[in-house]
Amino acid sequence: MEVKKGPWTPEEDIILVSYIQQHGPGNWRSVPANTGLLRCSKSCRLRWTNYLRPGIKRGNFTQPEEKMIIHLQALLGNRWAAIATYLPQRTDNDIKNYWNTHLKKKLKLKLQNGNTNEDNTVTTDVSCCVNNNNRCHTNKRTVNKGQWEKKLQTDINLAKQALFQALSLDLPSSSTPPEPDSPKPHHHDHHHHHSATTTYASSTDNISKLLRNWTSSSSSSRPNNTSSLSNNRSSSTGEGGVLDHHSLFSSNSESGSVDENLNLMSETSIFQGASKRNTHKEATTNATTDDQGSLSLIEQWLFDDQGLVQCGNDQEDLIDVSLDGKNNDNDSQDLF
């Protein structure tokens, strides 16, 4: 059977979202078969995970997010999926794109301008990222023959340092820890960055709205709008696009009711449970599994001799705190 490629149309999105609302994400092979979509299962999965699934934040990256990515990239290399677990609202594809299009350039520029700022860590990271094919090495050291063990130890120390900084760099000095039962900040992050970002939440209300808006708009200004949903640029910038993705998918005040189906597959489960594979994955990529509250093994190992492992929810809090753009902007501005 012929498989369609290229940008997804709003109709296809509707079909896909409707199906997933009924059956949940996963079993992608059955999606084209049961929906009639002329897409391969891979394409369906990608469309869902990178674009349609609820909880994705789109739009400009905040400076704390940038810093987080830079540190994590220095630590983990181009392991975008692993990095994305620390930025739950961002997709690995988005982070990868942002790195390739913005951060790489920014860092290179920073290096060229003679990086004499006080932030030695970031200087190190930048050197690593730009000079060493995105892998953090101890490139400032000369490694004597037979001393690879020493080098390895140095790398481990650097990794520990980088991870510590990645997870705590934005810890506000005077902030109060979140209430134990209060919602995590990243679930409401769009309140802070509402103008620049978008949070998606699919529901039948929104889907019907999507359809309504699309059909009504198809006869108006834009002659060819088949890719209006696919084309994020128009929606994220809020200009030009007849069919604004935000208005279609966000759980805004207008469409406040969230479909009951959505409750069956809670946002958390969608983030975390789409892949059985994740539950068996190595610790570094494991931040979204059931025991998300605890530090992963490798993190525990990395933190171990620094006495940094405290209680279970610390990591999550650190992530949340560092994603809160309100604090420590000074730090970031020093960097950029």
Tokens coding 241: 């696009």
CA dihedral 253, 255, 210, 14 (to 10 degrees): 120
- Looking at the Cβ atoms of 161 and 227, the one nearer to DNA is 227
271: contact with DNA by CB under 7 A: no
* Contact flags string 92-131 toward DNA, x per CB under 7 A: xxx-xxx-xxx--x--------------------------
Q: Are 76 and 99 in contact (CB under 8 A)?
A: no
Q: Which residue from 281, 61, 304 is spatially nearest to 159, judged by alpha carbons?
A: 304
45: contact with DNA by CB under 7 A: yes
35: contact with DNA by CB under 7 A: no
Q: Are 52 and 262 in contact (CB under 8 A)?
A: no
* Residue 194 to residue 253: CA distance in whole angstroms: 13
- Looking at the Cβ atoms of 117 and 266, the one nearer to DNA is 266
- Looking at the Cβ atoms of 217 and 278, the one nearer to DNA is 278
Please give the backbone phi and psi of residue 139, each rounded to the nearest 5 degrees, phi first. -75, -10
Residue ranges in 132-151 that form contacts with DNA under rule CB under 7 A:
134
Tokens coding 43: 């394409």
191: contact with DNA by CB under 7 A: no
DSSP calls for 172-196: -SSPPPPPTTSPPGGGGHHHHSTTT
Angle at 138 between CA 132 and CA 144, to 5 degrees: 115
Q: Which residues pair with 57 in a beta bridge?
A: 199
- Looking at the Cβ atoms of 178 and 238, the one nearer to DNA is 238
Segment interacting with DNA, rule: CB under 7 A, options 43-51, 117-125, 145-153, 206-214: 43-51
> Which residue from 278, 300, 313, 327 is in contact with DNA, where contact means CB under 7 A?
278
Contact footprint for DNA (CB under 7 A): 4-8, 26-29, 39, 41-43, 45-47, 50-51, 58, 78-82, 92-94, 96-98, 100-102, 105, 134, 227, 230-234, 236-237, 239-240, 274-282, 285
